[in-house]
Structure 1
């Protein structure tokens, strides 16, 4: 019984981190590092692991702040759909969650200091910006999560900025090629956020939020969601045709079935519970697309 209790407690803590969102932190890091093969075949592994750890800790801290402030504002109940609402559902102390989020941010700051010592202090400013957005997404007097700009904030700071920093600390520069190749990752990280807001549209509207799906309306929001995902694929085709990246990048199209599942899921279903598979497919799409692009980048240099 004790072992089962420990396993149950461990699972609750695991759910609290919202593991399906962690793709938004580790995929940009591995891609940003892989893109530096254009300049060097030697990866500075100490900076890679430091960056990967800091990024994932910031992502988890962001999720914990979101959990805490959603509870404080009364958004979460025991009937909340998904893995959010752990405080009310699993009995966590709100202050414990808040303090843990702050601790993870503090650890990330020390890791960031180490990265700065071995690269550039400009990296520290960028990292602090990402951390600040992670807090302000759900904290502060006017949380980003209550506005139509959540998708842009997550795509830019948790997708593109992390990839750019990962590239910079390895190559000591940031190239236009890296920026162009990174954009689809930003699109898909933003799509994860939009999928979450589509699922929560009715509840968010009742609580006074003005997320992008609420502003656009459900049907138009699903169209925008579909266009964003389609743009990620078309962008890669354009980069291949423009000789910015090799044809190996088209491996990302192996993830297309997952994209179609996500899009069709939102078009066919409507209630929060029914939309859970579509939201999960969106997170899986971001992971699979990013990993396939990583493979394509590696093959570009070894084949």
Structure 2
């Protein structure tokens, strides 16, 4: 397997969907809590990238194994296993290697933190595998958008924050006198949930746009995704409305002063995102317009990451 075929198998260009939420959480921890632990940052980064790449590789492998129709709809070009004539044994070895590295670094992160990290990380790991593998992978059901957006958009930022603020009491878990005690700082957790919603929505909409474009292909290959259940028109309405909700959460965060005041400038990105929504509404194509959902995610959440990064730098200097 060459480097180029490996990158295609793991769809390296899509890793922004995990790195950007990771950076959002990291910069937020620095900005709001003035806390950063380099070792934890690096351990989570390696584990995160490997599990993301493994999940994508599993998804491509499962598509290859379960496809009823292996031609047409661009299948020959967008499935790396077919395009590069990759051997199944080589693909499986790559997947197991990535999973092993992800698990090893995730366990090292747990040893350097606490049980909360193990629980959230372990849950994310299991859902990530179940998303692409099993008798009925989540990606082939109407719940793909919810799980992809929820795990990558919410679990990544909260873990990226928590690994730096273990002693701040945001989430605590302990046993006293045989009683399990769970403590949650509700206000801070609500801020983190609001912060993660633009990522949750952006990632979910990437999945939704992909499934809208693939309706015919998915029907042929037995993937019963959300657009197939609710129809293309309703799926497009969900796609459009969700972006408006993402901007509403940004506005709420600014009003609550949970993020820097200059994040108000992020609202200007709405005009470009709105243009992309209209273009996708008019024509849904994997080749031509699917990328607009990816661009929207990067525009909204990339801008948020940059703004939080700037806020973090200012807070450190001041």
Residue equivalent to 2:265: 251
1:43, distance to aligned residue in structure 2 (A): 1.7
Residue equivalent to 1:69: 62
Residue equivalent to 2:308: 297
Give me the whole-angstrom Cα distance separating, in 2, the residues matched to 1:84 and 1:254: 34
Residue equivalent to 2:232: 218
Count of matched residue pairs = 293
| Counterparts of residues 115-154 of structure 1 (less than 5 Å) | 115-154=109-148
TM-score by length of 1: 0.89
Give me the whole-angstrom Cα distance separating, in 2, the residues matched to 1:76 and 1:281: 27
Residue equivalent to 1:29: 22
Give me the whole-angstrom Cα distance separating, in 1, the residues matched to 2:272 and 2:108: 38
Residue equivalent to 1:278: 289
Give me the whole-angstrom Cα distance separating, in 2, the residues matched to 1:14 and 1:255: 30
Between stretches 255-264 and 55-64, larger displacement belongs to 255-264
Give me the whole-angstrom Cα distance separating, in 2, the residues matched to 1:266 and 1:39: 36
1:236 aligned to 2:254?
A: no
1:66–1:138 contact (8 Å) kept in structure 2: yes
2:18–2:156 contact (8 Å) kept in structure 1: yes
**Secondary structure of the corresponding residue to residue 67 of structure 2:** coil
Q: Deviations over 1:242-275 (max 9, x none)?
A: 33333322333354355234322321114xxx34
1:57 aligned to 2:57?
A: no
Residue ranges of structure 2 left out of the alignment (5+ in a row): 171-187
- Seen in structure 2, the aligned counterparts of structure 1 residues 167 and 89 have a Cα distance that, compared at 3 Å, is same
Residue equivalent to 1:44: 37
Give me the whole-angstrom Cα distance separating, in 2, the residues matched to 1:24 and 1:75: 29
1:155–1:189 contact (8 Å) kept in structure 2: yes
Q: Deviations over 1:41-73 (max 9, x none)?
A: 342112112211211111110100001111110
Return the structure number with greater relative CO, CA threshold 8 A, min gap 6.
2
Give me the whole-angstrom Cα distance separating, in 1, the residues matched to 2:62 and 2:272: 32
Residue ranges of structure 1 left out of the alignment (5+ in a row): 1-5
TM-score by length of 2: 0.85
1:36, distance to aligned residue in structure 2 (A): 1.1
Residue equivalent to 2:179: none
Between stretches 175-184 and 37-46, larger displacement belongs to 37-46
Q: Deviations over 1:99-155 (max 9, x none)?
A: 211211111111011111111122122222212212211211121112110000001
Residue equivalent to 2:217: 203
Structure 1 segments of 4+ aligned residues over 4 angstroms from their partners: none
1:90, distance to aligned residue in structure 2 (A): 1.6
- Seen in structure 2, the aligned counterparts of structure 1 residues 237 and 38 have a Cα distance that, compared at 3 Å, is same
Aligned-residue Cα RMSD (Å) equals 2.2
Q: Deviations over 1:208-255 (max 9, x none)?
A: 222111111111101101111221112211222333333322333354
2:69–2:220 contact (8 Å) kept in structure 1: no
**Secondary structure of the corresponding residue to residue 22 of structure 1:** helix
- Seen in structure 2, the aligned counterparts of structure 1 residues 252 and 17 have a Cα distance that, compared at 3 Å, is farther
2:15–2:49 contact (8 Å) kept in structure 1: yes
1:168 aligned to 2:179?
A: no
